[in-house]
Amino acid sequence: MKRFEYLEARTVRQAISMLQRYGENARIVAGSTDFLVRWRQGVWNPEHVINIQRVAGLSRITYSSRNGLRIGALVTVRTLEQHPMVRRRYPALAAAAASFAGVQVRNLATVGGNICNASPSGDTIPALLVFDAQCRIAGPDGDRWVALDQFFTGPGRTVLRSDELLAEIRVPPPAANTGSHFIKHSPRGAMDIATVGVASLVSLDGRRGPCSQARIALGAVGPTPVRAYSAEDILRGQDINQELIRSAADSARDGVKPIDDIRGSAAHRKEIVGVLTRRTLEQALSSAASGPLAFEEQRRLAVQAAF
């Protein structure tokens, strides 16, 4: 661990110019739920730490039925968990936020930080992926947009250049008759890094279908969180039945190459991908037809609680 200089940026421009000045020797912190831990472990050794917590304009979250959700990078995971429109229109995202660590960490952790950390098992990522989130990246020459499913390049690695900052995440409004669900497989109902995380979204053409949109995203089973495109193709345009769901689940399972680690073996993870894909699709389908579950029920199912 190396001693470092602490700096604060007050504007996006200021943050970017600090990044330009210090390059690889600087690290951005926002909620700082990871920084001190990794620093003490000797994994991150910047000479300069740039706190963007006070950068104006990055902490707002707004929703409109036309533009969907606009989430400033500094919005906390706790805010996502509690926001009434997130719970109503993006239930898988609220449930995923609720499953993230514990409330003390959620009050600090930012959505932007969770994304930029690019952990393969980041809890909010699968849900953001199935809602087709888009990332606004601020750089010295202005903004650029990258779809979230193009944002990650490897474990802990993103498309961000060393002088860029993730400023905002936009999530399009879901179509009418859309249901979503998220389940995290881990030993405890809180605090754990996911062994497997699966989010599914199903939109129906009218309340009885056919399926106009299906998205499935998998966490903790690859170098980055991924969409299960082949599984989605099985469902899109079809009248979804149990057989198709099973088929999609098998496809999702067969499409992943997880690793063995202290949380589980690759074989177990594949097995669980199949099960959770099936269950999240079933629940998403049901919610698409009859409306979302109450938040508390979503949360219970997401963390496999036994209340």
x/- string (CB under 8 A) for other proteins, residues 219-258?
----------------------------------------
Taken as a whole, the chain contains a residue count of 307
Interface residue with other proteins among 20, 37, 157, 162 (CB under 8 A) is: 37
Instruction: Give residues with Cβ within 8 angstroms of 221, minimum separation 6.
Output: 120, 196, 256, 257, 258, 269, 270, 273
| Tokens coding 55 | 């950068």
Residues 192-202 as b/e (b if ≥16 CB within 10 A, e otherwise) read bbbbbbbbbbb
Which of 49, 55, 130, 221 binds other proteins (CB under 8 A)? It is 49
303 binds other proteins (CB under 8 A): yes
Gyration radius of the chain's alpha carbons: 19
Does residue 6 bind other proteins (CB under 8 A)? yes
Q: Does 101 bind other proteins (CB under 8 A)?
A: yes
Which among 49, 20, 48 has a CA at the least distance from the CA of 163?
20
By CB under 8 A, name the one of 15, 29, 61, 77 that touches other proteins: 29
Are 303 and 99 in contact by the 8 Å Cβ rule? The answer is yes
- What is the number of other CB atoms lying within 10 angstroms of the CB of residue 229? 13
Residues 6 or more apart in contact with residue 215 via CB below 8 angstroms? 129, 130, 131, 132, 200, 201, 227, 232
Closest by Cα among 119, 129, 100, 118 to 303: 100
Identify which range of 4-12, 116-124, 145-153, 172-180 contacts other proteins by CB under 8 A.
4-12
- Is the separation of the CB atoms in 216 and 203 below 8 Å? no
Nearer CB in complex with other proteins: 5/239: 5
- How many residues bind other proteins, per CB under 8 A? 52
Maximum separation of any 2 CA atoms in the chain, in Å:
61
Residue with tokens 């429109």: 85
Query: Can you say how many angstroms the Cα of residue 107 is from the centroid of all Cα atoms in its chain?
Result: 16
Contact region for other proteins (CB under 8 A) — 58-66, 110-118, 207-215, 265-273?
265-273
State which of residues 22, 39, 44, 131 lies at the interface with other proteins (CB under 8 A). 39
Q: Which of 56, 65, 66, 102 binds other proteins (CB under 8 A)?
A: 102
Whichever of 175 and 267 has its CB closer to other proteins, that residue is 267
Which of 8, 254 has the CB closer to other proteins?
8
Shortest spacing between CB 175 and other proteins, in angstroms: 30
Rounded Cα distance between 224 and 120, Å, is 4
Q: Is there a contact between 164 and 20 (Cβ–Cβ < 8 Å)?
A: no
Q: Which stretch binds other proteins (CB under 8 A): 16-24, 151-159, 208-216, 262-270?
A: 262-270
Site string for other proteins, 179-198 (x = CB under 8 A): ------x-xxxxxxx-----
- Per the CB < 8 A criterion, the answer to whether 155 and 61 are in contact is no
Binding mask 60-99 for other proteins (x = CB under 8 A): ------------------x---x---------------x-
Chain positions contacting other proteins, by CB under 8 A: 1, 3-6, 8, 29, 32-33, 35-37, 39-40, 49, 51, 53, 78, 82, 98, 101-105, 107-108, 185, 187-193, 262-265, 268, 271-272, 275-276, 296, 299-300, 303-307
